Amino acid sequence: MTALQKLPPCQTKLWRGVADITNSNFKERDVHTWWSVNSCTSYLNVAGKFADRSGTLFCINAIYGRDITQYSAFHDEKEIVLMPGTLLRVMGALSDTNGPSVVDLAEW
């Protein structure tokens, strides 16, 4: 954890795909705390592979993400992690019967 904290924070749009989770727990303006390290990517197509058709894609406007691309075994995924305790405000949510749901989050 100490090594991650030494990396400079980056402000960027991130994507996180999660299978088997719905957006029903994500109401506009709610604030959620993500207590674990969460792996994200700058690429929608990479996150989409993790969400599959029944999961959820999180679009995250991050301000304190840590870019670990050069340390990752998967350089082509452009991996950025969110630190434990990250606060995220729900900006909106969209359900889609033909693909993953999308939840728009802003780091807070």
Within a 10 A sphere around the Cβ of 4, how many other Cβ atoms? Answer: 13
Mean pLDDT score, 52-65: 94
Say what the alpha-carbon torsion angle 68, 70, 71, 76 is, to the nearest 10 degrees.
80
Look at residues 62, 59, 66, 70 and name the one whose alpha carbon lies nearest to residue 80: 66
Indicate whether this model's pTM tops 0.85: yes
pLDDT at 34 over 90: yes
- Extents of the domains making up the chain: 2-107
Tokens 């592979």 found at: 49
Q: DSSP state, 96?
A: -
* pLDDT value of position 31: 97
d(CA 15, CA 12): 10
CATH number, span 2-107: 3.90.176.10
